[in-house]
Chains A and B, each alone.
Chain A
């Protein structure tokens, strides 16, 4: 299958219009010495065969487990209407909306998406999105460094460890230093954070709820930092934002996060959606595309990409970021999701997540040998300490069809017995019960 339309006769006619006898003559600029040394690829196959092949591959993945895995990426319910909207090919087969007259659909959707993010985060201006939550966090750090002219960032240990690793890779060749402050009782350690701040500190990076699922109110840290001219970057979980204090409410300078939870399938890690929002004051420092509302020459409402002069296609090596795409289709999904759930629906989702997670917390706490970390309030995710290696226990639970959460030893040396458990609105009381019973059984069996 090749999706090529020309008949042999048309091909001959076109070659002759180009003044050549055969296709090789169009490739004369490639010297004979550069003919491919090899091009050993399989034969093309039919759609039927290829789809079958992928169904077979998919069947080798354990996607059907009852999942309590989160860690910043969640198995939330996605209304069918989200797929119907994102499946319209007028959206998904279009390019970046550089020609506004033919892209009003994408542009208005981006503008509305930006508005949704602003309403959810309490910030004043959002961009059209960035690759994912981790790159959004990195871009936020760059923005803070550019704005302040300083070279140091203090990172809370409750920030997703994967994101922290990304920050360090990106800045390995740059003159930027980071210092990490471990959490205390699950929350941001104020005393140590404040001690780390100096006149060369550009920003403090926080996360709410943090990687351990713990809720915090970072208003005091924001106030302390602002008094020293230090910016605050907060990474947030959008579903939790339905209930929790928004970054805007506490005066955060740059809010970022992962939008996967807003109607985007898990898809083994991507594509996802990094969102980013800031104040009017800092908007020109924000990287990425931005859609703005204006009028056309006939006075009608129109939308257009704006503030492009700071982007790479114009500013080249002086651009504020090298990023030139956004994740438009993922942003469209998030926008559709938020529109469908609406003001009441998103709160309901958040309340269901919270209620079920609290129920699971209580249930696990009743299991002998299991200790639930209780020093601070949590949203829909919490850590439990097991009497055994969490990785071993997880392996046993998977045999019973349950993906029990994320063992933390991999990210936090010394926490090998800890498991991070996430509960979304999709999990039922029955499933939580099965999980708890299986865990009780395994612990009993191993005599732990």
Chain B
């Protein structure tokens, strides 16, 4: 039953103040809609009950273990929400600094942006950073626009972007939308790393950039990353680093130290800002000095008197990619998270994320196929190959986890592993939780042999069982 079905004609939810000015002439009828929009008519309690009921049909990190690979579903500290709710931030109008000397009206906010940029540069080893991109994929697109601006400025005619075949789907999509053609680079079957020999062959003077994810989506760290950068730079191709997996390496590796030119971070993954059920996130982009001049406007600069101002006078900038200063309150939370943990805490977070992933991998590799058997970073990829003998697929195992009280792992990604199951426990999960998960996964593997039908029927304990996706796509019922 959707909310509109609960509507009762004449019921009211919010009382508004009376009009304290003289009623003006009505808006000329020619400009007005004929019928009011059919919004619902409910009391405040009706609305609260409706949404509370919906929330109970949802599962978040606060409800339980959420080992969704590639998504870094770590705990979101509650203090971050308190900080974002402070009036001095929440009520701040973004046009305020556009008034003359308006920067002085928002010194606290500008300092947040400036300090966070500096911290993210130190964490990644990059030179400069912009908070503008509104999500990870938006960061990728921004990065590709920077690559295009760099080559345009140099008079280079380069159209191709190389992308490993294990990469997130957003990589080729972002490159294509920025105006590039993409070519896949194969992954070496034995090492699980990008095939360097193949890369050397593909790298011609036509190549504008290569996009790498390290650790890659198999959870494997490419120890030859410096070599990749070196080969690329020989052809004046830039190296883009997809920072989706930054949670594996804080304090252990900095992309900037390996010659990376441009990268994005997902604040909603590594820096614990809530995922919000699919957003908002934030995808800051960091660059080496060779790309700094192209960063989007505006930039926050610090003056000699320790005040901050916005700089729009940047002739080589790619321009506006967001209306203001990025998803400010997400950035605010990430800054608070870094201050809470400190350098040591961030390093320990990465180390524990890697420990948790390896622990799970070691406890599961005897019963599930592990296509790339090596030390993993913060996540690893299993295959349901063994269970396929009983016609049990990765999706069945994922759904069975729901009945065990867990959120499923990521399935069918990366595409290069058949029946892939990608598991990322994150650092905030306790050993007891991990042990319960291991027990559940072992039970499911047993059931795959003893009673595969049970897995194919899972889940049975959730608010609904498997929805009919074909019907959804054919009926196209998108609104009530």
Contact = CB atoms under 8 A, between A and B. Distances in A.
Chains A, B in direct contact (C-beta < 8 Å)? yes
A119 B122 CA distance: 48
Interface string B90-105: 1111111011110001
Interface in B250-299: 251-254, 257-258, 272, 274-282, 296
Contacts of A58: 86-89, 108
Contacts of A355: 19, 21-24
A356 interface: yes
A227 interface: no
Contact of A93 (B50, B62, B123, B324): B62
B223 A31 contact: yes
B277 A96 contact: yes
B24 A354 contact: yes
Contact of B54 (A100, A105, A173, A302): A105
- Most chain B CB within 10 A, of A72, A266, A315, A352, is at A266
Contacts of B478: 111, 114, 118, 125-126, 283, 290-293, 306
Q: Which 4 A-B pairs have the closest CB atoms?
A: A58-B88, A269-B324, A44-B342, A41-B343
A280 to B, nearest CB: 7
B99 A394 contact: yes
Contact of B170 (A19, A298, A313): A313
Interface in A38-63: 38-47, 50-51, 53-63
Contacts of B296: 169
A246 B33 contact: yes
- Most chain B CB within 10 A, of A38, A304, A339, is at A339
Contacts of A131: 134-135, 138, 279-280, 322
Interface string A300-326: 111110110101111111110111111
B322 A166 contact: yes
Interface residues of A, number: 209
B73 A95 contact: yes
B91 A104 contact: no
Given A11-B355, A30-B253, A119 B38 contact: yes
Interface in A92-111: 92-97, 99-106, 108-109, 111
Given A63-B89, A88-B52, A126-B479, A304 B16 contact: no
A267 interface: yes
B232 interface: no
Interface in B1-53: 1-4, 7, 11-14, 16-17, 19-25, 27-28, 30-34, 36-42, 44, 47-48, 50-52
A304 B466 CA distance: 10
A318 B73 CA distance: 29
Interface residues of B, number: 202
A104 B56 CA distance: 9
Contacts of B464: 100-101, 104, 296, 298, 300-302
A193 B185 CA distance: 47
20 contacts: A5-B431, A17-B362, A36-B253, A36-B254, A44-B339, A61-B106, A81-B47, A95-B73, A105-B56, A117-B479, A126-B478, A166-B323, A268-B94, A270-B325, A302-B464, A307-B473, A322-B170, A329-B280, A358-B24, A359-B22
Given A42-B339, A163-B323, A322 B79 contact: no
Contacts of B419: none
Nearest to B251: A39
B83 A51 contact: yes
B326 interface: yes
Contacts of A51: 79, 82-83
B122 A39 contact: yes
Contacts of A43: 342-344
Contacts of B375: 25-26, 28-29
A297 B336 CA distance: 45
B31 A271 contact: no
B354 interface: yes
B209 interface: no
Interface in B426-480: 427-431, 459, 462-469, 471-473, 475-480
Interface string B192-217: 00000000000000000000000000
B338 interface: yes
Contact of B318 (A163, A172, A319, A410): A172
Contacts of B345: 1-2, 44
A302 B469 CA distance: 10
Nearest to A68: B93
Contact of A34 (B23, B40, B77, B226): B226
A58 B88 CA distance: 4
B182 interface: yes
Contacts of A60: 88, 107-108, 111
Contacts of A336: 47, 51
